[in-house]
Amino acid sequence: VKGVRFREFPLGNLENILNDVDVLYMTRIQRERFPEGPEGEQEYIRVSREYRLTREMIDRARPKERFRIMHPLPKIDEIEADVDKTDYAYYFQQAKNGLYVRKALLLLVTGVI
């Protein structure tokens, strides 16, 4: 779209793609999307373990300087808390930018601007 190249990666070894992307957009695994009962819970646990980003993964991969990690928040445990301290963690800035956009839209629709 608009000349921006993107690829969607299936679940698997997340570490293998860290050097190949400029932006990693992660979302949480939504427990409510799995069937109720023990089978659904087991599937949720299996998938959530595969879909986890750790500081060690980033350190081993050594992605490009411009690499950014984005997430719509709130995050549960798909991104380890130590990742928050890296220069790659952009999700808090992403949330801050979203706040300004929502404020501007509210001002616009209420006729203030």
**Burial class of 71 by CB neighbour count within 10 A (0 to 12, 13 to 18, 19+):** buried
Q: For residue 52, what are its two tokens?
A: 């986890």
pTM given for the model:
0.80
- pLDDT tens by residue, the chain, 113 residues: 688 888 887 766 788 888 888 899 999 888 899 999 999 999 999 888 888 999 999 998 887 888 999 999 999 889 999 999 999 999 999 999 999 999 999 999 999 98
